[in-house]
Structure 1
Amino acid sequence: MVGTKRNDFPLPLDTQPMEARSADVLPEGDGSWQYEPKWDGFRCLAFKDDKAVDLRAKSGKPLGRYFPELMATIQSLDAEDFVADGEIVIEIDGGASFDALQMRLHPAESRIRKLSLETPAQLILFDMLVAPGGKTMFDRSLSDRRKALETFLAKASHGGLRLSPSTTNVATATQWLRGAGHGSTDGVVAKRLDEPYRPGERAMVKVKRLRTADCVVGGFRYLNSKRQVGSLLLGLYNDNEQLDHVGFTSTISNDDRAALTTKLEALRGGSGFTGKAPGGPSRWSTERSGEWEPVKPELVVEVRFDHVTGDRFRHGTRLLRWRPDKAPRQCTFEQIE
């Protein structure tokens, strides 16, 4: 917390944010839905009581020490006794940088302070759980909560806080969805205008823009428990004709695992990735992140992905099919630009 030692916030700090269930298409119906961009950042509930401030992740873990600039911003507001729901983002060159967010999760306070000045974060707000003055909004409709949020931000007038755009026009939402996957958003969220806020429930609908790419298998990792393939390491050729590591897929059928292991082990010992290789710091790092087997770059797979950040797939991908008809050298970054 920042400021006083009081901790009688308007809601318990372990309050869970309302969540979303996945869907393939945007829901429609007689203006009863509100659509918002799905931001690519850290979900966050912001609490304020007098001068005491706290930021909590979706998991309930405190985020305040990693984002001192947001703590100071909220503390400086005249409004008191409120709780708002939003997403922490760091934008660099006009797009969200998840790498910059990850860099904030650092144990050294001096490093965090330095980064907060170099790449300040913003809190994009999209819901109001408790309006300033301690007025609980859980049972109010989204329409009412949105008005309260707009009023709050109009008075706050601070660059560190932003109002998330919204629309009831499905055509506009569809345009947002088409533009997702690069930049600051990775999809669209739909909410019923007449429904209350439901903490911890999947009462919203999220739709991501899913795309496909043909990638070269440059290596693999074994399962922790047995000597069988657990994930494929994926690569794309850059402009210098080097194979860069861009992500992974672990959606391998158990029925196929043994045969695939035999095939990959026969290719083991090849050049693997000739450009950027796995094993260094990344958003996928684990204790075993350095343990991977390079293979000859002969196999091509088609995978489905949702977001690209820093020339890498933001999340794990889904293996769709093998592409024996595709030459590895045809698998270039042009597919994901």
Structure 2
Amino acid sequence: MDLPVMPPLRPMLAKSVKGVPAADSVEGGLSYEPKWDGFRCIVFHDGDEVQLASRSTKELTRYFPEIVEAIEAEAPERCVLDGEIFIATDGRLEFDTLSQRIHPAASRVAMLSVETPASFVAFDLLALGDESLMNEPFAVRRARLEEALGSAADPIHVTRTTTDAAEAHEWFGIFEGAGLDGVVAKALARPYAPNGRTMLKIKHSRTADVVVAGYRLHKTSTAERPLLGSLLLGLYADDGQLQHVGVAASFTETRRAELIDELEPLIVDTSEHPWGKWQDADAQAGSRLPGGQSRWSGTKDLSFVTLAPTRVAEVGYEHMEGSRFRHTAQFKRWRPDREPASCTYGQLEEVAKYDLGQILT
């Protein structure tokens, strides 16, 4: 492989802001586009060679043979693209399904590439032929991208953009229904900045009252100075079962020590806990119970301290992925005024569905 932009390359990143910024808030103006919820991917294509690289520069090529094949067929013979790999089911992004593709067995990957094929959406062009576009302003890179992939067909797409802040605000409200998680704003006049947080991202922010049903120790915890790592959170389903929905973390070291003492009176025997059978494989298959091993955790210790599900906390979250929080929740405050039984899925905002196909059109 011999391209004007070569791996390893860390993609340009974004910093969070509140609200869609005005188009004229940055010199040269802003371009807005949907924020895709998949695997960030830099595509390096040189003739019959294709390399897919993750945000951290790790190889993704072997996990997505259908994307490699599509790039060879639909993309320019020599190019470097920045974009996102995603999987859609019934007109909505499915991150859990996408995650299943990171599997050590080639046979499993091959089967899933047929059963749940992935797609690639491009949002930047970093090189074309013998020309590097890294120092060109985004307005130029975007125009060249549209030209380079103008005839590309599914599963290769070019993301939608607008320079109208009002339209971007509308997208922010409706595209979540298709599984997207916000809007990204890019300065039209700026060059590509590898690993630099020069883009702006606007993501959804919500709160929920949850039951705190356990905790894990921090990786630096010791017998002499135990430190809490994360709180295990639950919500009651319609059948009355307490479902594990995620964790809250990001406490200061002082607060981690305080929480150990604060939660000690709530510790109960595992046999008395609704998630007490977390080591049982059948129970893991039937419920969202914490503690089980997976391809993500490997041999990592996921054991946790069981707490009586009597304390309620308010947490901040961005959006749901199925029945759980998509990302780590942010602890806000204790809610002694709330009863655990009131912490149900019914309190969560229902997002109106939106067909992903309308976004890709």
Report the TM-score, using the length of structure 2 for normalisation.
0.85
Pairing 1:149–2:145 present: yes
Q: What's the offset of the Cα at 1:109?
A: 0.5
Displacement after TM superposition at 1:329 (Å): 0.8
Deviation per residue, 1:81-108 (Å, 9 max, x gap): 1111100011122222221222111111
Q: What's the CA shift string for 1:28-53, capped at 9, x where partnerless?
A: 14381111111111111111111211
Q: Which residue of 1 is the match for residue 267 of structure 2?
A: 268
Q: What is the rounded CA distance, in whole Å, between the counterparts of 2:207 and 2:176 in structure 1?
A: 12
On the 8 A contact 2:313/2:334 being kept in 1, the answer is: yes
Cα separation, 2, equivalents of 1:302 and 1:152: 48
1:239 deviates by: 0.6
Q: What is the CA-CA distance between 1:289 and the residue it aligns to?
A: 4.8
Q: Could you tell me how far 1:135 is from its partner in structure 2?
A: 2.8
Residue 14 of structure 1: aligned partner = 8
Aligned mates of 2:173, 2:42 — CA distance in 1: 28
After superposition, the CA RMSD in angstroms is 2.1
1:306 aligns with 2:318: yes
1:251 deviates by 2.9
1:236 is matched by which residue type in structure 2?
Answer: L
Task: Return the offset for 1:140.
Answer: 2.0
Aligned match of 1:55 in 52, 57, 64? 52
What one-letter code is carried by the residue in structure 2 that aligns with 1:164? T
Match of 2:209 in 1: 214
Q: What is the deviation of 1:182?
A: 5.5
In structure 2, what is the Cα distance between the partners aligned to 1:153 and 1:248? 41
Shift of 1:78: 6.5
Corresponding residue SS for 2:190 = coil
Of 22, 32, 51, the residue aligned with 1:28 is 22
Residues 254 and 136 of structure 1, relative CA distance in 2, 3 Å threshold = closer
Amino acid paired to 1:98? F
In the TM superposition, what are the counterparts of 1:76-91 in structure 2 within 5 Å?
76-77=73-74, 79-91=76-88
Query: Greater CA deviation, 277-286 or 215-224?
Result: 277-286
Shift of 1:80: 1.1
* 1:173 paired residue number: 168
CA 1:281–1:151 in structure 2 vs 1: closer, same or farther (change >3 Å)? farther
Is residue 71 of structure 1 aligned with residue 71 of structure 2? no
Query: What is the CA distance between 1:184 and its match in structure 2?
Result: 2.8
C-alpha distance in 2 between matches for 1:89 and 1:255? 40
Matches within 5 A, 1:106-121: 106-121=103-118
* Corresponding residue for residue 238 of structure 2: 239
1:197 aligns with 2:192: yes
Does structure 2 retain, via aligned residues, the 8 Å contact 1:181–1:308? no
C-alpha distance after superposition, 1:258-296 (max 9, x if no partner): 443233222222424485311235697364453112211
Query: Are 1:43 and 2:40 an aligned pair?
Result: yes
Alpha-carbon offset, residue 141 of structure 1: 2.0
Distance between the aligned counterparts of 1:195 and 1:291, measured in 2?
Answer: 47
Q: Which amino acid aligns with 1:215?
A: V
Structure 1 match to 2:181: 186
Report the alpha carbon displacement of residue 318 of structure 1 after superposing the two structures with TM: 0.8
Matched, 1:326 2:338: yes
Distance in 2, Cα, partners of 1:281 & 1:92: 26
1:142-168 Cα offsets, whole Å, 9 max, x none, are 222111111222222x21111111111
| Paired residue secondary structure (1:189) | strand
Residue 162 to residue 229, structure 1, CA distance change in 2 (3 Å): same
Runs of 5+ in structure 2 lacking a partner?
277-286, 351-361
Tell me which amino acid in the other structure corresponds to 1:243: L
**Aligned partners of 1:329, 1:256: CA distance in 2, in Å?**
27
Percent identical among aligned pairs is 43
Q: Distance in 1 between matches of 2:267 and 2:101?
A: 37
1:215 touches 1:300 (CA, 8 Å); kept in 2? yes
Query: Residues 97-112 of structure 1: matches in 2 within 5 Å?
Result: 97-112=94-109
Question: In 2, are the aligned partners of 1:139 and 1:197 still within 8 Å (CA)?
Answer: yes
Higher mean Cα deviation, 322-331 or 191-200? 191-200
2:319–2:326 CA contact under 8 A, matched in 1? yes
Are the equivalent residues in 1 in contact too, given 2:12–2:196 (CA < 8 A)? Answer: yes
Partner of 1:4: none
Alpha-carbon offset, residue 335 of structure 1: 2.8
